[in-house]
Structure 1
Amino acid sequence: MKIGRRLRVYLVGVLMGLIASYFMLGPRSCEWLPGNRVKSFIAENQIRISDSTLCRMECYGLGKEDVYNLLNYGEVSFSESQTSGLRKEYVVQYDELKVSFLVDMTDSLSEVIQFHGYDTRCACSDFSNESKQVLYEPNDMILERLRKNGFSLTSSNECQFNCVGIDSLFASNVLQNGTVVHERSFPRRDPNPVYTIKFNLNLTDTLYFLVEEGFKTRILEITEKDGTSSCDCN
C-alpha cells in the first residue's frame, strides 16, 4: 500500500474514532481540553469573594448566576491569564462579561477578584478586601441539574415516602421548589455530590431531603430539622 493511501486510511480511522468518542461520551468528551479543565477546577472547588468585590459585583448589576453561567459557557483567555506558580490568575469571558479568578493550588480554593470593563463608580471603599465569603452556586441551578439527571427510586425510598406520608410526585416537587441548605451540603464529595434540600410541608413542619447527584438523582435520606429520622428503612 502506498504511503499516501496509508495516510488517508489512518486519518479516516482517527476521524471515526473521534466521532465515536463524541457520541459515547457526549459533552464529557471535551472535558480534557485545557480551558474546560480550568473552569471545572474553579467551579468544583469552593469559590470565595471578598466583601469589596461582592459590593462591586452588585453595583454592576451582576449576581452569582452570572458568575456560574460564565463558568459553564465561557472561554478561558490564556493570553490574559497568569498561569505560573501555585497561585494562578485565570481570566474567563462569556459574551460581554469578563472575570478574573485567583486559584490557589495549595488549598484548592478559588476567588473572584475582578470584573473587567465596568466604568461605574461604586461606593465600596468601606468594604473589606480581606473579609471573604463563599459564593454558593444558585439554588435554581442546582435543582435544575438534579431534575435533568432524572429520578432513580429505590425500595428504601418507597419506605421513606410511606413513613413521612408523601409520594414520588411530591418528591419531584421538592426538586422544583425546595431550598438547598448549603451548610449541610457536600458539593465536592467524591465520587458524587450530595445536597440537603429543605421543603416546608406547612407553617410548622419541614422535611430535609439528602439528595445525591450521580448518573441519576437519588434520595438517600429524609430527615427532620434536627437531622434525625423516625423511619427505619435500611
Structure 2
Amino acid sequence: MNFINRLKFYLLGFILGLFLVYGIFKERNWDWLPENKVKKFLLENPLKIYYNKKLDLLSDQLSKKIFDIIINGDVNFSKSETKQELKIYFIEYKQNTAIFNISFKDTLCRILSLNSNYFEKEPNSKDSTIFLDQKNLFLRFDKLEKKYSKSFIKKLEKYPLNEEDFSKNLKSFEPNWPQSDPFKKSNPEYLGTIKIQDSAYFLILETGNQKLRFKDFYKI
C-alpha cells in the first residue's frame, strides 16, 4: 500500500474517531475551558447586585435576562480584564451585554451593569443576591434524572397523586429562595410551591450527581 492510500485510511480513522468522541462526550460541559469556567462559577455562587429599592428591579424578568446572558452568551475576553485578582468579564448574548466582577479566590460574583444600566452602590441602593429565574431553573431541573425518596413515595399513598404528577408540573415550581440553599456545595436544596391540578403543594427538592431528588411535600 503506497503512502497516499495509507494517509487516506489514517484520515478516515481519525475523522471517525472524532465523531465517536463527540458522541460519547457531547453532553459534558468541558468545565476546564476558560469560558465554561467563568459561566459555571457565576451559576454556582451567589450573584450579588446593587439595586435601587425605589425601582424594585429584582423581578423575575430581570433575573431571566441576566441568566439568559450567562447561560447562552459568549465571554468577550478581548474586552475583559483578567490579570488582576478581582477580574472583570464581559458576556454578550444577542444584543445584550452584561459586565461582571469575579474573584475566584473568595467566590465573589457581582453584576456591574446590564446594557446601559449600571448597578452601583448609592444611598438608595440595596446589596442583594439575584437568583435564577423560574424558567431557567425549570430547564436545569428538566435535564436531570428524576429520583424519589422512599418517604416521598410512601406519602403519595395518602393523596390521589403519583410521581409523574410532580415531574410533569415542575414548570409551575416557584422557589422560596430565603428557605432554599442553592449554593450548598453538596446536594443543593430547593424549597417552594408547585401547582398540581387545582391544588398547591410545598415541595422539597435536592440536586446532585446529575439527579433531581424529590425529598418531601405537603399540601398547602
**TM-score for both structures, normalised by structure 2:** 0.77
CA shift at 1:63, angstroms? Answer: 1.3
Q: Equivalences for 1:1-234 in 2 at 5 Å?
A: 15-52=15-52, 63-116=62-115, 118=116, 127-128=124-125, 131-153=126-148, 155-163=150-158, 166-172=161-167, 174-199=169-194, 207-214=201-208, 215-222=210-217
CA shift at 1:82, angstroms? Answer: 0.6
Provide Cα deviations, 1:8-31, integer angstroms capped at 9, x if missing partner: 766655544432232112242544
Provide Cα deviations, 1:3-50, integer angstroms capped at 9, x if missing partner: 888877666555444322321122425443211221111122111110
Aligned residue identity for 1:95: K
Structure 2: distance between partners of 1:168 and 1:69: 30
Provide Cα deviations, 1:186-222, integer angstroms capped at 9, x if missing partner: 323345433112247899x964322123434220223
CA contact (8 A) 1:57 1:115 kept: no
In structure 2, do the counterparts of structure 1 residues 149 and 54 end up closer, same or farther at CA, with 3 Å as the change threshold? Answer: farther
In structure 2, do the counterparts of structure 1 residues 57 and 18 end up closer, same or farther at CA, with 3 Å as the change threshold? Answer: farther
CA contact (8 A) 1:55 1:127 kept: no
Provide Cα deviations, 1:158-177, integer angstroms capped at 9, x if missing partner: 20212456332432355132
Higher strand fraction (1 or 2): 2
SS in 2 for 1:32: coil
SS in 1 for 2:20: helix
CA contact (8 A) 1:192 1:212 kept: yes
Higher helix fraction (1 or 2): 1
Aligned residue identity for 2:124: F
Structure 2: distance between partners of 1:53 and 1:80: 31
Gaps of 5+ in 2: none
CA shift at 1:114, angstroms? Answer: 1.6
Name which of structure 1's ranges 154-163 and 136-145 shifts more when overlaid on structure 2: 154-163
Structure 2: distance between partners of 1:7 and 1:167: 59
CA contact (8 A) 1:179 1:199 kept: yes
Name which of structure 1's ranges 181-190 and 78-87 shifts more when overlaid on structure 2: 181-190
Aligned residue identity for 2:204: L
Identity, in percent, stands at 22
CA shift at 1:115, angstroms? Answer: 2.5
CA contact (8 A) 1:53 1:112 kept: no
Structure 2: distance between partners of 1:209 and 1:180: 9
Aligned residue identity for 1:96: Q
CA contact (8 A) 1:198 1:207 kept: yes
Structure 2: distance between partners of 1:76 and 1:165: 48
CA contact (8 A) 1:71 1:92 kept: yes
Aligned pair count reads 215
SS in 2 for 1:84: coil
Provide Cα deviations, 1:91-144, integer angstroms capped at 9, x if missing partner: 00001101110002232121110223x3x8xxx97633xx31111101232123
In structure 2, do the counterparts of structure 1 residues 43 and 14 end up closer, same or farther at CA, with 3 Å as the change threshold? Answer: farther
